[in-house]
Amino acid sequence: MTRGHLRDYFAGVGVKRLRAVDAEPKSSNQHEIGTTSQMRRQFLHTDGKERFKTIFVWLGDDQNFVIDEGCSTHYDTRSNQPHRTPEWRLYYQANRVTELMRQGDTLFLAMTPGRTLYFIVTPDGSTSQRQVSWLFGFSASDSQPTGTLFVSREVKTDEPGLNFAARMILEQLGIEFKDPIARSIDTIIDPLGETFPKTAELSKLARESLGEVRAEEDPDTALVEWLDREEAVFRRFERRIVSKRLQIDQGFLLGDGEADVDGFISFSLSIQNRRKSRMGYALENHLEAVFLAHHVSYVRGFSTENKHRPDFLFPSGEAYRAAPESGAPHLTMLGAKSSCKERWRQVLAEASKIQTKHLLTLEGGISEPQTQQMRESDLQLVVPRPIQDTYTADQRRWLWTLSDFIREVKRRARL
């Protein structure tokens, strides 16, 4: 399901591999990067010296995320020398993000329609590099250029809409998705009152609101659409609750009119923690609904060795307990993680009677070195079909869909 467009957030973007002179203060006296005539024509423009509000983002792997705000200036270094060819550069302020970037990292310069510049840095060869490249429509060769100049493009209004994977990447960049169907969700959340329901209840409500989606026919699409709808319902309901809290007693003020800083921080943290924990539970809830629709025998959260609890164990806890230490061919386990990063290794220690582990993730564009490590660790990655487009052709030949996984579990159950 697609909603919104990339053009709603970005007007143009350029990508380049950073040289030492671009990234490291020891190699350069200036924090400057040269721009191209194509970038200037597409989105930077050359109407004279221009100062941009700039969002600096570092996206490493293993949940390594840094964001900072500052300014950058686009100017012609030869503006006082009219007889010479103009030389345009972007001067950026030093900050926590620029201190992390190094030669060989990938820089994305992305301009919003409101003229705010995003300065996004990803490590070379990382999952984050692959994800951001895919979001902005760059090929692997574009995001790993061999030259010294930017490769750039203008974001068009008629480009395909943003799907579930794209919206997840926007969130990693710290961008709040503006859902064009948000108001239509009100009829779904009205019966909820003013208290957040349990995640299982919200998951069920999301599925019931999409009665035409049937996991029996297409489990991959059903899983993604259910999650997508639950995310929309959750965010709309969250906005309603937060808006009301901000209106009570003029927001966060103490009796003497002093700002209730501690109360605001506590409230903000509760929102962030709820967002982080909810997606994982929602994924498990909807996977359970898929397995029930396909009459797959399973147990959820069964305790195996050393108190490990695989998310799903097939066909049952009793079958696992009765199997010899060397395992049995009818046993299967599945971990479920909305995002992997380096956390995929946690699955390897679960259910030691099962040699080949299976892990389902919603994360798009995991790097090829990381998926190769998974293969070498005897872990099979399962990615819903609508998200597999974010992976390379070679990776897709190895990936399993959720449909593939269900067929294999049913095959093993007959052994």
User: Annotated active-site positions, please?
Assistant: 320
Task: Give dist(CA 181, CA 189) in Å, integer.
Answer: 13
Count of CB atoms situated within 10 Å of the CB of 178: 11
Question: Element (H or E) spanning 396, and its range?
Answer: helix 393-398
Beta strand 32-34 pairing with 106-111: unpaired
Instruction: Using alpha carbons, select from 295, 344, 303 the residue that is nearest to residue 320.
Output: 303
Instruction: Using alpha carbons, select from 238, 279, 292, 300 the residue that is nearest to residue 363.
Output: 279
Q: How far is CA 369 from the centre of its chain?
A: 19
Give the number of C-alpha atoms closer than 13 A to the C-alpha of residue 207, restricted to the C-beta side.
Answer: 21
Rg (CA), the chain: 24
Task: Give dist(CA 263, CA 132) in Å, integer.
Answer: 35
327: tokens are 């395992």
Count of all residues that appear for the chain in the document: 415
Instruction: Using alpha carbons, select from 236, 232, 210, 234 the residue that is nearest to residue 223.
Output: 210
26: tokens are 């020891």
Token pair 């600096």 is at which residue?
56
